[in-house]
A = this chain, B = another copy of it.
Amino acid sequence: MNKITENPGRDQRQASSGFEPVMRFGMDAPLLLDCGVSLAPLEIAYQTYGELNADKSNAILVCHALTGDQYVASTHPITGRPGWWSTIVGPGRPVDTSRYFVICANVVGGCIGSTGPTSINPATGKPYGLSFPVITIGDMVNAQARLVEALGIEQLFCVIGGSMGGMQVLQWAYDYPEKVFSAVPIATAAWHSAQNIAFHEVGRQAIMADPDWCGGDYLNQDRRPEKGLAVARMAAHITYLSESALHEKFGRNLQDREKIGFGFEADFQVESYLRYQGAAFVDRFDANSYLYLTRAMDYFDLAEEYGDVLAEAFRGTKTRFCVVSFTSDWLFPTSESRDIVQALNASAANVSFVEIESQKGHDAFLLDEPELFATLTGFLNAAAQKRGLKHGV
């Protein structure tokens, strides 16, 4: 069953992770990271859906969020649950796989098959742990660009993603403007805010406070900082919802009891729900990966080298943009999407902007939001027409 896609730097070893397919770049083809380290070997685990057309003009790259992965529209091999965006990606869906060739790759630094802190460090023969170099959103995008090139695609018809995925979309449009015909950054920002850095730091401190983290070396010591990672997830999970969503969903309802228990068990449904979210997360995610990916988001700031003038980053771009935000998203509020839109307008870019009325908070981009579906369908149809894509592959 193991399958490694052929590509220039490929060697003959099996995919190290068991998540396939994997595109592998060998020791002779290192990826130069923003921190200055050359990373090799580099494996990129990915999934594809639909068929690439003859002129390779119908490819859509989906970029996943912090705790997402390449299983955008297929069953997750660990959880057995449907793909995280299977409402959006599939035949007849807004990202229509009967029309488009959809690629989704686990980010570098991740833990679902792409090279990251759980991978073997060739210098030691042991898992990297904290010896893995700190990566950036730019590094993620450069790794994806190699995959896209190895698949023989010169230009992506569209790059789409929400949250950390949206950061990658913006970075793609910035780093590879000629390779991105259209771009849909959803529920994201051009730089990570102080509040969001603060929440990430709490999560990291929770992980690092867990003695089973072992200074990052837990894999070599057969331990796992599950409690710390669960606390990190719980804190983060609150930020993905809105106050009104929590009120609607749980309010002050009690869990499996008539009266408060005068103790520290999960009296309230919202407590029980959070504990479940924390416990389920540790089964599918690596604690060090969580450190690295949150750090990459914190470091993200597209305007930094332009004296905070974001418009300069996109000057002359030909990419068509559709920026999407949600009214109740307080993690990546509409104001941050508006900053992107204003910068794109100032760059004379082709940009549309939709703020979707929703009570579901940041998570809205993952949930059943008809207006999001309609927005994506409409934007992609119009862009396909401009690009000269025919219906059907």
Q: Which residues of A contact B (CB under 8 A)?
A: 34-35, 130, 133-134, 191-195, 197-199, 201-202, 204-206, 208-211, 227-228, 230-231, 234-235, 238, 241, 243, 246-247, 249-252, 260, 262-264, 266-268, 270-271, 274-275, 278, 291, 295, 298-299, 301, 304, 330, 333
Contact = CB atoms under 8 A, between A and B. Distances in A.
Contacts of A268: 194, 197, 201, 298
16 contacts: A133-B262, A193-B243, A193-B246, A193-B247, A194-B246, A197-B268, A197-B270, A198-B274, A201-B275, A202-B234, A205-B274, A206-B206, A209-B227, A209-B230, A243-B333, A267-B298
B192 A252 contact: yes
A295 B204 CA distance: 25
A246 B198 contact: yes
A251 to B, nearest CB: 6
Given A231-B209, A252-B301, A238 B270 contact: no
Q: Which interface residue of A34, A204, A210, A211 has the most chain B CB atoms within 10 A? A: A210
A243 to B, nearest CB: 5
Contacts of A330: 243, 330
B262 A194 contact: no
A277 to B, nearest CB: 10
Given A194-B252, A195-B238, A202-B231, 18 more contacts: A35-B262, A191-B252, A193-B246, A194-B270, A195-B241, A195-B247, A197-B268, A197-B271, A198-B270, A201-B266, A205-B234, A206-B206, A206-B231, A208-B264, A235-B235, A243-B333, A252-B301, A260-B299
B205 A275 contact: yes
A246 B205 contact: no
B247 A264 contact: no
A198 B271 contact: yes
How many copies altogether? Answer: 2
Contacts of A193: 243, 246-247, 252
A235 B249 CA distance: 23
A243 B189 CA distance: 14
Contact of A194 (B195, B204, B250): B250
A194 B278 contact: no
A178 B347 CA distance: 67
Nearest to A335: B243
Contact of A199 (B191, B227, B238, B249): B238
Contacts of A262: 34-35, 133-134
Q: Which interface residue of A130, A204, A260 has the most chain B CB atoms within 10 A? A: A260
A211 B211 contact: yes
A247 to B, nearest CB: 5
- Shortest 8 CB-CB distances between A and B: which pairs? A209-B227, A194-B246, A35-B262, A134-B262, A201-B271, A195-B243, A194-B250, A194-B270
Contacts of A249: 194
B197 A252 contact: yes
Q: Which interface residue of A133, A201, A262, A268 has the most chain B CB atoms within 10 A? A: A201
Given A197-B268, A197-B270, A199-B238, A205 B252 contact: no
Q: Which interface residue of A35, A130, A227, A249 has the most chain B CB atoms within 10 A? A: A227
Contacts of A208: 264
A195 B245 CA distance: 9
Contacts of A197: 252, 268, 270-271
Contacts of A194: 243, 246-247, 249-252, 268, 270
B247 A231 contact: no
Nearest to A301: B252
A195 to B, nearest CB: 5
B238 A198 contact: yes
